């Protein structure tokens, strides 16, 4: 689909429009990729949980490389990421059903590195003091992390997530602690 006919803004007009597809990536592959990254331990643990949440345990990786719904219609990302972006795809967003433009990374590792950088930028990991738009305070426990992630990443508001959301998130966090130590 040529950029002229897109109904959504594309901040990467120099990149090709690629056909959207959903790819399942085994969690073992994702775990091995996370382990290979040079990241602080708590960032790896957050990355694991966020990727599980965002991809349905690896079952829904956007074009096989975008593990966190990175958008191409809300502005350009810092230039350092330009060389990792292969193109843009257009698909309806899960939460709103609205047509959106999403980044397609060159590799799964690129998508994971980008997501890890956003985790660090937003402070969505244990041990961080967050002064975000919606979450403010120390992230000391998995429960704190669940609320921070929900506020700063999932919803973009200061609402308290459900007990079930927190329970599911903390369960995955404790699994991550067994995988990344």
Please name which of 45, 49, 23, 26 lies closest in space to residue 35, comparing C-alpha atoms: 45
Look up the pTM and report it. Answer: 0.93
Q: Which domain holds residue 14?
A: 3-179
- pLDDT value of residue 121: 96
Residue 146, CA distances (Å) to 4, 73, 126, 156, 159 in order:
40, 27, 10, 13, 12
Number of domains in the chain: 1
Task: Dump pLDDT digits (tens) for 145-161.
Answer: 999 999 999 999 999 99
Q: What is the pLDDT of residues 77-126, one digit of tens each?
A: 999 999 999 999 999 987 788 999 999 999 999 999 999 999 999 999 99
Rounded to whole angstroms, how far apart are CA atoms 25 and 139?
30
């Amino acid at each position: 689909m040529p950029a002229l006919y897109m109904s959504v803004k594309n901040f990467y007009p120099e990149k090709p429009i690629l056909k959207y597809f959903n790819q399942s990536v085994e969690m073992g592959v994702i775990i091995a990729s996370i382990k290979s990254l040079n990241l602080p331990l708590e960032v790896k643990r957050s990355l694991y949980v966020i990727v599980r949440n965002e991809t349905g345990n690896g079952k829904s990786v956007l074009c096989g490389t975008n593990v966190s719904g990175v958008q191409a219609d809300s502005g350009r990302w810092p230039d350092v990421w330009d060389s990792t972006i292969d193109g843009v795809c257009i698909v309806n967003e899960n939460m709103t059903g609205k047509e959106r433009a999403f980044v397609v990374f060159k590799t799964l590792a690129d998508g994971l590195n980008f997501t890890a950088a956003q985790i660090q930028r937003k402070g969505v990991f244990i041990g961080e003091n967050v002064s975000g738009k919606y979450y403010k305070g120390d992230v000391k426990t998995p429960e704190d992390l669940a609320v921070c992630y929900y506020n700063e990443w999932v919803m973009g508001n200061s609402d308290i997530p459900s007990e079930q959301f927190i329970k599911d998130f903390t369960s995955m966090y404790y699994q991550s602690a067994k995988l990344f130590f």
